[in-house]
């Protein structure tokens, strides 16, 4: 597991308050926070992958015929 980044005294105090509020130790809180951040990153990547434009396959003769049938007559 990667070594957590070094926190300043103020950051450590802030995270300690959040950990106490959640009923966890500071170390457990930081590990859990990192897990949640990784899970969020995976979820964002999945959403980005889902939003990519889909490449349509060329239409067959029936699809082209139906497209022509729906066009107005000029």
Q: Convert the pLDDT of each residue in 23-57 to its tens digit.
A: 999 999 999 999 999 999 999 999 988 888 777 77
Whether 19 and 28 have beta carbons less than 8 Å apart is answered as yes
Ramachandran category for residue 57: left, alpha or beta (phi over 0 → left; psi -120 to 50 → alpha) = beta
The answer to whether residue 21 scores a pLDDT higher than 50 is yes
Q: Is 16 exposed, middle or buried (0-12, 13-18, 19+ CB in 10 A)?
A: middle
pTM of the entire structure? 0.57
pLDDT of residue 1: 44
């Amino acid at each position: 597991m990667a070594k957590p980044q070094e926190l300043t005294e103020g950051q450590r105090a802030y995270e300690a308050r959040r950990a106490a509020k959640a009923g966890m130790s500071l170390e457990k809180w930081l590990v859990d926070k990192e897990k949640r951040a990784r899970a969020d990153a995976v979820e964002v990547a999945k959403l980005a992958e889902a939003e990519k434009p889909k490449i349509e396959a060329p239409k067959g003769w029936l699809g082209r015929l139906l497209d022509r049938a729906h066009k107005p007559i000029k």
